Each structure stands twice: as C-alpha cells, then as structure tokens.
Structure 1
Amino acid sequence: MFRFLHRRLPHVALLLLSACGLARCAAEPADQATIDRLYSAPAPVTEAGQRVFFIGHSLIGKDMPAMLAQLAPEGHGYESQLGWGAELQAHWEPDVPLAGGEVENAHPRFREAREAVASGDYDVLVVTEKIGLQASIEYHESWRYLALWAESAWAANPDTRVYLYETWHETDVAEGWLARIDGDLGALWEREIVDRALTETGAERPIYVIPAGQVLAAFVRRLDAEGGVGGLASRADLFDDSIHVNDLGDYLVALTHYAVIYGRSPVGLPYELVLADGSPAAAPGPEAARLMQEVVWDVVASYPRSGVRPPG
C-alpha cells in the first residue's frame, strides 16, 4: 500500500496544483445563510468624525480622501498607503515590491500600513484591489489578503469597520464598461473576494463594500437617460483617461465613501472643495452635484453590503 501511494504521490501533487494553482487553495465562499446573517443589520456608525486608513492605489489617490475629509463631520481624520496599481498582497508582504510607493506616499498623510492597522488607531479601514481584478484574484490571492488586513485591524481594535472599495475597469474594456461593472460586483468583488475572506476570518464580522463602481455606473446611466445634466454630458466628463477619474469623478467617489462610512444621505453637502494640495477642485455645479448626491444615496441605501439602511 505504501509503495502504491509513493508511486502515486507525484500525480496527486499535480492534481492539487492544477486545482489550486501555485498558490494555496482558496477558502470556500461563505454560504448565503452566513451572508444574510452578517448583513442583516446596519453597520454601527456614529455621529462623530471617524479616523480612516486607506490601502490601495491611484483609484484612491490623494484627492478623494481629502474631499471626503471636507464632507465629513468634525473630528474626521485619515492616513493612507498607496502604490501604482498595487495589489493588497504587495501592501502586506515586506518582500513584494510596492511599485510607485516612494512617489505615491510622498505626502504628509502617509503612514506605513502594517504599523498603522496594527496600532488600533482607526475606526475604519478601507482597502481596494488592483485592476484587472480577475488576475489579482487568481495570482495574488485577493481574498486571503483582505482577510489578513481585516484580522489585523480587528485584533488591534475589535470595533474597526472594514470596507472593500469596489472600483471599475478601463472604459474601453472589450466586454463593455457598464457590463463589467454590473457583472463584476457579484461574481468577483463579492463572491471571489469578500465571501472567501469571510470564510477565512471565521465569518464572525461583516466586511462591508463601498459600491463606487455601482455609483459611477448609475450616474452615467442617468446622464445618458437625461441627455446630460448641469453641463455634464457623458461618462467622459468624469474621467481623465481610460481609468482615472477627474475632480468630478473623485467628488462622486468621495460622496459614496461619505454615505457608506457615515450612514447618512449626502444630499445637501457642499460641492465646491479643494484638492489635497489646497488648490480648488473643479466643481460640478448645483444641478449636477444634486444629482450626484441623490444617485449615491439611492445606490448605497439599497445595497445591503454597504451596511447602510435608510431611516424609517
């Protein structure tokens, strides 16, 4: 029997590698009953300003968190660690290069991520994953590193709320930008990243989702349906290039973070803000700003994994 197993062992190993790739096997996604339990109640938000730590790349950037700080209640604070197209793995592993870190983190709000999260100083941890998302999941174990960041935050401060920031692919993606946003939320962001991370962490606490990709898609659809609003005609008015948003897009994403983190409607918030360097941001104007704020609240308040429930 032993000789048989010894002869068969290389074949068993090959089967395991073909099933799991070169990385370890992924945790099974949490089942629907677990998901329903974790997201049945709203997130425990407070009236006070929150201290937020961001981990990610240029789709967080420097300006969006600065805009959020201007929208948030008194006492809000933030720091970040960013890279160029950085995976969650690169932020966690000391021997994996963090491309562009020396450039992206050359600002006063930088704090080394492992030390920051383990400090217990933060009420909120916001992380995001590298785009293209499928490759990040397959080759960089997105679910595993989301779980590691969440566990580190909770070990230091059990009250920290952990959020995965849903972003978007390039506007010229072959399958269609809106189609990718529609399909990726459930198939990739939720099932392949969050739900596997929930299993990895023991499914005792939710990991919430900031649905910024969904908000962008909903706002673009409203622009298309109404033939433009307040000087904004189409998706192109929100982007600097095929993936990076401009000041107006950053404002929309900052509103989304505000609505999720604070559990409040952003309708009525200011829209004339400044960038991280103190210079004026391009402002959307009152009509477009109002539509942005309304769309954000419609999306966030109807999405259970945001942790937000509308009053009443």
Structure 2
Amino acid sequence: MYFRLLCLLVLLTHTLSAQELPPKPAYPFGIKQIHSGHSLTDPLFYPHWPGQYVNLMSSVTGIPAWQLSNVTIGKSTAPGSSMMYRWDNKISNGAPDARLDIGNWEVLSITEVVPLAVEGGNTQSWYLNRLQQQRTYLSNFVNNAWSNGNDGKGVPTLLWTTWTSIDGKDGPFREMLDSQGKEWEAMQEYANKNRPAGAPPVYIIPGHKMMARIYDDIQKGIVPGISDIKQLFSDNIHTNELGAYAIAMIHYACMFNKSPIGLPNQLIPNPPANTPIPTPEFAGYVQRMVWEVVTSYPRSGINMQSTDLTSEEGHFQLRQSGNTLFFDLQGHESVCLKLYDMSGVLIHNECVVSGNALPLTGYQSGVYAYTINSMKGDFMYGDVIVISGD
C-alpha cells in the first residue's frame, strides 16, 4: 500500500519544480534506511555505538539496537568522502554500499563533503568542475536508488545537509550556513530536474537550517545550559553527544514526518563518566526547535499545519480550527494541555474534558509547542501548533 501511494503521488506531481514540492510521504518506522556520507553522518551511529539514533529507533520499534545496525539502519560512510568517491569506490569493512547494495534498502539518505563549491566562489576550471560534480553525483545516486533500489521497486532519496568548521577556517560559520544552504538547494533542484519519470522528488533533511537556528538561539540566550556553539562539538566540525542528539531528532522528524517532542532525552545506555547527556530542558528545546525548523522549511516536504491530528496510540483525536482545539478523548475523562513558546517557557496549562473546545486566544502569532497527557498518567503526546494572533 505504501509503495502504491508513493507511486501515485510522484506520477501526479512529477512536473512540479523543487520549490513546489508535494508533501513528503511519511515512512513507516520499520523502513530499511541506508545513510551514505562521512563523519557528519556518523553521529547517527557514534559516539557510543550503535548511536543515539539507532537507540531511539530501538525504543520506537521494540527491536534491540544491535539487531537494527546495518540490517534496518545502514551505515555507508567513508571519512571525508565526496559522493563521487563513494560512487567510484566500494565502502570497505563489510559495510553496506549505498550504490551497489541499494537493492536491499528502502530509503536512501545521503550527504556531500563540505565545504561545498558554490556559485561565484571561484572561476577556475577545477572549482567549476567540482560544482558540477556535486550536483551530478547526487543525481547519479538518486537515479540509481530509484532504478535499482528495494529489489527494483524504487527507493526515495533524502539529502542530509550539514555545516562547515565552527572555527571559521572555511569562512564565517554563521554566514557559511546560509551560503552553503543555497548550494544544497541547487543540488536538490538539479537532482529533481534530472530524476527518472515516476521517481519521487528529493527532500532535504535541513541540518544547515537546524545549526543556524541553534547558533542564533544561543546568541539570544535561550538554549538551556548552552552559551557557546562549541558546547555541541568535540572539535571544530564534529559534534559531541549533545550535537548528535540534535542530529538524531532531525532525522527522526524528517524520516517519519513526526514531531520529536516528547522523545527521551537519554539515548545512551550506561554512558561513561563525564559523558555530556542532554538535560530534559535541553532535549525539550531541541525537539521543539527541530520540529519548527523542519515544518517551516518547504524543501523538507513536511508541513505541520494539518487540520486533524491523532496520537500514535489512538488515545485521543485533536482537531484545530483557527485558534481553537477540539478534543475527542476516546473514553478518557480528561487530559491536561500545556502550551510552550519556542524558547520552552510554559505559557498555558489547562485540563479539559472530552468534547470540550479550548480557545487559544491572547497570544502573538507564531509557532508554539504543546504536550497533552492523561490525568491518569497512561499516555502523553506532543506536537506543535500555529496560532494566529488576535
């Protein structure tokens, strides 16, 4: 059913440009995903193998993490490698190869080496060749995935975008996030323009947007426990456990079209002493921030302004009409709703009974996070909501 719906979607929308992407299908939790990249992909799996993302997927699926590694979640990386290198060279050490082994997988996530070549960055032929290569080889992987992936049924591709060195050696860090972002988008557009008939569009996992948001929020003093971007890094470009947590959250959001709000903050079992573990406050910030970044970026294909939301467990149904929430609590007597601004400050706390409407008035226009929990404590759900100011 998932495959038929995906094919119908892409056949109807193939002629749309990258700026007019159709909504991205939500992939099921058990989808076989392979991640092609380098050391900025590795935080999904390290430090502390099998990694916070794999441990998160273990908690979601109920399958032991070690059974997911390179079976359901594939690591296909080479240090410092470009897509051209990974196209021309088989991944070593028995790891799955995102080109040659794509028939065994159901979705491809891929990234390019940084810094990217950018339009106007240099006029020398080697630079212009590199600019074209990064677009061409993304297209090669995309087309190979659709033609040969999943035993010939076709595999969609997500583009994981990253960042440059925080020490400024590649250029001012914050400025580079924006300038590199334009090329990530150009790569996406090139691949979408040149994809085979019937292939779904490439969507972006916007790591560059996430890092820009974190950087800006640190400058505003609203990231819990963090006063410098360096606190999320182990060196000038590689993230530590805190940065890896954010990477896990954005991959979860973009893979499954689901809000990470309410996910665990502790995803490293038995961590060594002095391991930086996300506090509940930091984790809550990251989850809300990631969902806002993803859903406000059209190239992710994920839009949070849905009119009907249902909890994964079926405990309740929630419908938004304007600035009013309507509840059908599926037999529960009452639930409590907490509303937060995007800096994590609690601004509304109210309990409602089944069938009640909850007007959210008196707030400025913007994006807010909320959690809903049963007064009996048997479920909790979190997401974000757009409110139009009075």
Deviations 1:205-235 (A, max 9, x none): 3111110121111012112202x54322220
Q: Which moved more, 1:75-84 or 1:62-71?
A: 62-71
2:164 corresponds to 1:169: yes
For residues 58-97 of structure 1, the aligned pairs below 5 Å read: 58-61=39-42, 62-63=45-46, 66-72=51-57, 73-74=60-61, 77-94=72-89
- 1:208-247 alignment runs, 5 A limit: 208-226=203-221, 229-247=223-241
Which aligned pairs between 1:83-162 and structure 2 lie closer than 5 A?
83-94=78-89, 105=93, 110-117=95-102, 119=103, 121-134=104-117, 138-139=129-130, 141-156=133-148, 157=150, 158-162=153-157
CA distance in 1: counterparts of 2:110 and 2:39, whole angstroms: 12
Output the CA distance in 2 between the equivalents of 1:254 and 1:235. Answer: 18
Deviant stretches of 4+, over 6 Å: none
Q: Is the 8 A contact 1:216 1:252 kept in 2?
A: no
Once residues 96 and 16 of structure 2 are traced to their aligned partners in structure 1, the CA distance between those partners, rounded to angstroms, is 38
Mapped to 2, the partners of 1:159 and 1:112 lie a distance apart of: 16
Aligned to 2:178: 182
Separation of aligned partners in 2, 1:257 and 1:220: 19
Q: Which has the higher helix share?
A: 1
Could you say which structure has the higher strand fraction?
Answer: 2
Counterpart in the other structure of 2:8: none
Amino acid at match of 2:56: L
Does structure 1 conserve the Cα–Cα contact (< 8 Å) formed by 2:37 and 2:83?
Answer: yes
Measured after TM superposition, the shift of residue 291 of structure 1 is 0.5
Greater mean alpha carbon deviation, residues 75-84 or residues 143-152: 75-84
Aligned pairs, number: 262
Secondary structure in 2 aligned to 1:80? strand
Cα distance, 1:46 vs structure 2:
3.8
1:176: Cα distance to partner?
A: 1.4
TM-score (norm 1): 0.76
1:283 to 268, 277, 294: 277
Deviation string, structure 1 residues 27-51 (Cα, Å, up to 9, x no partner): xxxxx952244x1x22111443221
1:44 match: secondary structure? coil
Which TM-score applies when normalising by structure 2? 0.62
Preserved CA contact (<8 Å) 2:266 2:277: yes
- The alpha-carbon deviation at position 81 of structure 1 amounts to 1.7
Confirm or deny that 1:301 pairs with 2:284.
no
Greater relative contact order structure (CA < 8 Å, 6+ sep): 1
Question: By how many angstroms is 1:84 displaced?
Answer: 1.5
Q: Which amino acid aligns with 1:249?
A: G
Tell me the CA shift for residue 273 of structure 1. Answer: 1.3
2:243 alignment partner in structure 1? 249
Offset, 1:190 = 0.9
What corresponds to 1:54 in structure 2? Answer: 35
